[in-house]
Chains A and B, each alone.
Chain A
């Protein structure tokens, strides 16, 4: 290694003191929520917020590599079904099935990715949609997976002992809430480690200009594939948690429309330039509002849709984009253009999809 001739000083962009204090405060608040909120229904909603946020984070994760993934819900389902199968047919404990389901999802993503990751743009988007549809069909058609009726009575996680704490039994919502927090924290830590290492820079380079990245010696296929596997494995992890939390699975839950699209919307609504806070804020708002709007009954989806349209029209950088100037620096606006183009292009697809189902 050649020694640098001069020493330069660099601004430390990654680590702000203010930021770490903010994170600590946030974690404390999140940990104290069950002490304040006693309604199991709200705790349930918060658990769903956590799952949705993690899924939306995988969307941003791949978007930074320039890939729009329509199989988020499918990989979520693969993780859920894998975990249910492992515990119910092989009698594995949940604590083993959770990592195993994550790895199985990763292996499926590897096989699918070997075919898909050579392309970008529509060559990637449309095949992921096709794959997602096939996954739902497979769950619904084969009796092993319980058909369209689904699987019920998926076992709850076994009680665990953590030193200094009483025995944790998964009988109420609260332990699930903490488990959700733990899993989301793992995802955030893993993603931020990848983002701040050379891998993150290579991924961002591919997302910003794939030909320039390639000319700098970045192997597009390998980096896209790695990102796809990591993102999908995280979907599988959340799927495994969901299966044992919800205790019942129906294939329809894992269709790309609307589940995957909702994951995209969570991220866009929160702010696409914020890989963690964006999905969290978006998922929080969109998971809770439909529930509160339920009072108005049938027209609830219309109001939710209207809310999204208004926010996207007047705050294209997302809600956090409105509050911060950071979008000026890290705003991947090409990605938003791409989403716009993709939404236009996907309209006929979704319509025929619906007709086929009739």
Chain B
């Protein structure tokens, strides 16, 4: 088993506050890794560091054997890291299809002038990418909503569309920030099924932050627990459930007794 992503002693300070402090973790090829921890533990910050939205203070991130520390977000996306956002971040004024089609930005291979001058190979490529976008929508069960404006979709549909847009960038590693938050039980069930399918059918490694313990315990192969920016436990769900430090972090020292 090889690691697709290695995080080594990664730290991020906001002024004097250590949001992420000397975190070490490995994401193994084709696994679903859960990242949990109390509010403010630094989970989203860690996502932002890996995907290049913030520069780190110290430490290293290695993706597929390449040092990607402090690369910009568009560079990490090029290398194959896609992410979703905590709030439903979509192009709200565009249709669902246009959202995914815009997400295919990295799929263009023809030269820029060929595209601007609408030459046949560029048009063919555009059509191919549009088909790819449509296939993705179908895969995620949103095909019937393709012409609906993203802003008019329900919260659950928007979250699914968010994952769909992230998939359009052809990722090897998908970072999902709270994919099922705010969903009703049936939507949650659909989403869990979809996440599993993304891994099984498309062989995409998934790392997710989630507060819904049932989902995390069910879905993840391995779980990493963060508290105060530090990695306090790591292992399969069954182990994490019994880990004393984790229970302490969530319930406090008194609650753990």
Cα–Cα distance between A5 and B74 once the two chains are bound (Å): 29
Cα–Cα distance between A153 and B108 once the two chains are bound (Å): 50
Interface: B35 (CB within 8 A): no
Q: Is the CB of A329 within 8 A of B130?
A: no
| Contacts A1-B109, A5-B135, A8-B134 given; does A211 touch B85 at CB 8 Å | yes
Cα–Cα distance between A330 and B103 once the two chains are bound (Å): 18
Interface: A201 (CB within 8 A): yes
B127-148 interface with A by 8 A CB criterion: 128, 130-132, 134-135, 147
Residue of B nearest to A4 (CB): B131
Interface: B94 (CB within 8 A): yes
Of B93, B108, B149, B168, which contacts A332 at CB under 8 A?
A: B93
B188-222 interface with A by 8 A CB criterion: none
Of B94, B106, B115, which contacts A216 at CB under 8 A?
A: B106
Q: Digit string of A197-234 for contact with B (CB within 8 Å is 1, else 0)?
A: 11101101100110111111111100000000000000
Interface: B90 (CB within 8 A): yes
Of B102, B122, B135, B147, which contacts A201 at CB under 8 A?
A: B102
Q: Digit string of A331-343 for contact with B (CB within 8 Å is 1, else 0)?
A: 1100000000000
Q: Is the CB of B128 within 8 A of A209?
A: no
Question: Is chain B's binding surface mostly helix, strand, loop or mixed?
Answer: helix
Interface: B116 (CB within 8 A): yes
Cα–Cα distance between A4 and B107 once the two chains are bound (Å): 14
Residue of B nearest to A214 (CB): B73
Contacts of B166 in A (CB 8 A): 215-216
Q: Is the CB of A4 within 8 A of B118?
A: no
Cα–Cα distance between A218 and B148 once the two chains are bound (Å): 24
B156-195 interface with A by 8 A CB criterion: 165-166, 168-169
Interface: B243 (CB within 8 A): no
Contacts of A201 in B (CB 8 A): 101-102, 105
Cα–Cα distance between A187 and B130 once the two chains are bound (Å): 28
Contacts of A220 in B (CB 8 A): 74
Interface: B17 (CB within 8 A): no
Q: Is the CB of B131 within 8 A of A216?
A: no
Q: Is the CB of A217 within 8 A of B91?
A: no
Interface: A148 (CB within 8 A): no
Contacts of B83 in A (CB 8 A): 215
Give, as a whole number of angstroms, the nearest-CB distance from B138 to chain A.
8
Contacts of B115 in A (CB 8 A): 197-199
Give, as a whole number of angstroms, the nearest-CB distance from A274 to chain B.
15
| Contacts A7-B131, A193-B116 given; does A208 touch B73 at CB 8 Å | no
Cα–Cα distance between A177 and B134 once the two chains are bound (Å): 47
Interface: B89 (CB within 8 A): yes
| Contacts A1-B109, A216-B103 given; does A208 touch B77 at CB 8 Å | no
Contacts of A196 in B (CB 8 A): 118
Interface: A194 (CB within 8 A): yes
Give, as a whole number of angstroms, the nearest-CB distance from A272 to chain B.
12
Contacts of A208 in B (CB 8 A): 91-94
Residue of A nearest to B51 (CB): A215
CB-defined A-B contacts under 8 Å, sample of 29? A1-B128, A4-B131, A5-B135, A6-B131, A6-B135, A7-B131, A10-B97, A193-B117, A193-B118, A197-B116, A198-B108, A198-B112, A204-B102, A205-B102, A209-B90, A212-B90, A213-B102, A214-B72, A215-B73, A215-B77, A215-B83, A215-B85, A216-B103, A216-B165, A217-B74, A217-B106, A217-B169, A219-B72, A219-B74
Given contacts A4-B132, A193-B116, A215-B51, 14 further A-B contacts (CB under 8 A): A4-B131, A10-B130, A11-B147, A198-B108, A201-B105, A204-B94, A212-B85, A215-B53, A216-B103, A217-B74, A217-B105, A218-B74, A218-B105, A219-B72
Show the binding face of A for B, using Cβ within 8 Å.
Answer: 1-2, 4-8, 10-11, 193-194, 196-199, 201-202, 204-205, 208-209, 211-220, 329-332
